[in-house]
Amino acid sequence: MAIIHNTTLKPTKLELLTDWLPTRPWYRPGTGAPRLTRVGGFRLDDPEGEVGIEFMVTTDASAPEPVHYLVPLTYRGAPLDDADHALVGTMEHGVLGKRWAYDGVHDPVLLTQFLALFEGRAQAQAQSISDELDREVTRSYTGEGLTAAGVTVTEDMDATDVTLASGGSLRLHRVLRPVPDGSLTLPEDVAGHVSGTWGASDGRRERALFAVVRTDSQA
């Protein structure tokens, strides 16, 4: 399992996202720059131990109503080939040195492990604690094996869609909408889902659908 280092980051992840989020088509502009707080998320392990994988939930308080975003990120010790368009920024890690942070939907390591999570072959890890499972993440999948190689990525006002080499598509919800009372109801046309939680300002745990998979027969 990944080791979480309690150390410094310059700039911080939220500082990188403050500049990057407004460039996205799904960003909801507020008054001035984003005012971001990290409120939740989880991690996945890279079997090779080289790439950090994090799904961050961040709340922007600059809009009239707080907006919750899901931001999958990967952290690498060297640039990812042919991925300049997906670079969120670089930062100096107090233990690991220079790190390149990428929008994770464009990183094959994150996509491979995320699809493994759908299928139950990978487990969600706690965001800030080493060797600890995140038991608030739920997942399901009924279908054939999912493959991330050779994908295409498109974005709209709410989500990022990834067309999978194995057929069908992955839809990652960027703007999160809490479900009433945490009671998750899945759309009828999906073959699988991942949901997760974050902490609300009043201490409650909010839950939302993070992503769904549709097969070719459901597209």
Q: pLDDT tens digit string along 51-105?
A: 999 999 999 999 889 999 999 999 999 999 999 999 999 999 777 779 999 999 9
Residue linked to tokens 């990812």:
80
pLDDT tens, 112-137?
999 999 999 999 999 988 889 999 99
* Residue 46 CB-half CA count within 13 A: 18
Confidence of residue 184 (pLDDT cuts 50, 70, 90): confident
Q: Is the pLDDT assigned to residue 219 strictly greater than 60?
A: no
Asked if residue 75 lies in contact with residue 52, where contact means CB atoms within 8 angstroms, the answer is: yes
For the range 79-83, what are the long-range contacts, defined as Cβ-Cβ under 8 Å and sequence gap of 24 or more? 80/106, 80/107, 83/107
The token pair at 179 is: 């479900």
